Each structure stands twice: as C-alpha cells, then as structure tokens.
C-alpha cells in the first residue's frame, strides 16, 4: 500500500507556507504548526508599508543582491526567480506592478489579500494548520515525535519528516521515496525570489 508521508512544517511564515505548498503538491500530508494564534503575522506587517514582492531588474543584476550567498542561491533563483514569483502571485489572483524604483508590488500594495488567497488554496489542498503550537525541539533528530507546547499542555505529534526554516529532517521511509527527493529538490528553489528583502 502506498501511503502519503506525513510532513510537519514548523512555522507558518512565508517560508513555511511555501514549503507546505510544494510538499502538498508532491503528495505529502502536510501539517503546519505555529506558535502564534495565526500564521503570516510578520508577512502582514511587511504589507503595511507596501509589500515589495520582488524586483524587476535583469536576472544577472538581481542575483548580485545576494552577496556571499549568491553561489548557493543562484541555481534556486534560476528555477524560481522574480518572474516566477509574479506568476505565482497571479495564480492567487494577485496582480503586480513595477514601481518607479523597479521593485514589484501587488497592485493594492497589501499582503492580506495575498495571504488570504494563499491560505484558502493550501486548505483546499488538504494542508492542516495547528496554531498555538510552539515546537520544543532544538533541531536534533527528533523525527517521529515532535513536542509542542500548547494552551492545553504539551502534545506530541508524529511525522515522517519535518522542516523548520531552511532545516529539513526526514525519516528513512520518506528519504527512500522518489516523491521525497522530488519535494526536497523543488522546495529549495521556491520562495527564493523574495529572499533578497
């Protein structure tokens, strides 16, 4: 029997939500855990002054913004760069425009409509959200038993793999699957266009 692996994504900021999207599209059962009562709070704050999604400058100029990390990030940006970020936003119904500075913004400048549409799409794809769950791990290999502090006390969640920010850990069953390798490869690229902020 081919059972979808369960993957825990810790942190529901834009990085975690993009990881959840890629993992879900690859067939995983995705659970997003966040310490706060709602996801994307910093992202919403970012939208207050006008959400700068990416930049319109030519790719060879854009990649120079990443300094010492350019070599590491350039292959990912080639896969998911400024144009893909704009297309991704358009897929959520959010059109963008290029400001006089060359920076790219949603037409209404706000983050809230984008986040709303994104969460709607993730939920429709089966991603489950667990708010007020503060992960108690420290990055050690605790695959299979993730401990969270919740208002109801400590809870333990099981997962075949988990990711937190840019750190990912997988149990042996997940690592062996082609889907697992595929998801890990895609996940490295997604979201890179916005990482220059």
Ligand X SMILES: Cc1cc2nc3c(=O)[nH]c(=O)nc-3n(C[C@H](O)[C@H](O)[C@H](O)COP(=O)(O)OP(=O)(O)OC[C@H]3O[C@@H](n4cnc5c(N)ncnc54)[C@H](O)[C@@H]3O)c2cc1C
Structure-derived torsion over alpha carbons of residues 32, 33, 35, 37, reported in degrees to the nearest 10? 60
Position among 7, 8, 9, 14 found at the interface with ligand X (CB under 6 A): 14
Q: Where are the alpha helices (DSSP H) in 14-167?
A: 14-25, 41-48, 59-62, 70-79, 82-91, 112-124
> By rule CB under 6 A, what count of residues binds ligand X?
24
Residues 30-89 that bind ligand X (CB under 6 A): 33-36, 39, 41-43, 45-46, 49, 51-52
Structure-derived torsion over alpha carbons of residues 84, 86, 91, 96, reported in degrees to the nearest 10? -170
Nearest distance from C-beta of residue 104 to ligand X, angstroms: 10
E strand or H helix at 97: strand 96-98
Based on the shown chain and the rule CB under 6 A, indicate whether residue 173 belongs to the binding site for ligand X.
no
Pairing of strands 54-55, 103-106: antiparallel
Position among 5, 16, 81, 82 found at the interface with ligand X (CB under 6 A): 16
**Choices 27-35, 81-89, 92-100, 120-128 (CB under 6 A): range interacting with ligand X:** 27-35
Nearest distance from C-beta of residue 154 to ligand X, angstroms: 13
Nearest distance from C-beta of residue 10 to ligand X, angstroms: 5
Nearer to ligand X, 110 or 181 (CB): 110
Rounded Cα distance, 129 and 148, in Å: 14
What is the length of the chain? 197
Nearest distance from C-beta of residue 96 to ligand X, angstroms: 12
Position among 4, 13, 150, 155 found at the interface with ligand X (CB under 6 A): 13
Q: Quick check: 60 and 82 in contact, CB under 8 A?
A: no
Residue 46, number of CB atoms within 10 A of its CB: 17
Nearest distance from C-beta of residue 44 to ligand X, angstroms: 9
- Using CB atoms, what's the residue nearest to ligand X? 13
Q: Which two tokens stand for residue 28?
A: 């995983």
Residues 88-147 that bind ligand X (CB under 6 A): 134-135
Q: Which two tokens stand for residue 110?
A: 């706000």
Position among 6, 7, 11, 104 found at the interface with ligand X (CB under 6 A): 11
Query: Which residues in this chain contact ligand X in the complex, by CB under 6 A?
Result: 10-16, 33-36, 39, 41-43, 45-46, 49, 51-52, 134-135, 194, 197
């Amino acid at each position: 029997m081919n059972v979808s692996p369960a993957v825990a994504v810790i942190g529901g900021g834009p990085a975690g939500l993009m990881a959840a999207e890629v993992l879900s599209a690859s067939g995983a059962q995705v659970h997003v855990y966040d310490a706060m009562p709602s996801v994307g709070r910093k992202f919403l704050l970012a939208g207050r002054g006008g959400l700068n999604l990416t930049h319109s400058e030519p790719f060879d100029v854009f990649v120079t913004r990443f300094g010492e990390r350019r070599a590491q990030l350039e292959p990912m940006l080639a896969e998911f760069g400024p144009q893909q970020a704009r297309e991704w936003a358009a897929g959520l119904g959010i059109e963008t425009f290029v400001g006089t500075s060359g920076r790219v913004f949603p037409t209404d400048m706000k983050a809230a409509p984008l986040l709303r549409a994104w969460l709607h799409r993730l939920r429709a794809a089966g991603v489950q959200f667990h708010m007020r769950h503060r992960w108690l791990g420290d990055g050690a290999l605790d695959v299979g038993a993730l401990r969270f502090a919740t208002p109801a006390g400590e809870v333990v969640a099981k997962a075949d793999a988990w990711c937190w920010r840019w750190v990912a850990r997988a149990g042996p069953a997940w690592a062996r699957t082609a889907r697992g390798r595929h998801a890990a490869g895609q996940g490295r690229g997604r979201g890179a266009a916005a990482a220059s902020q």
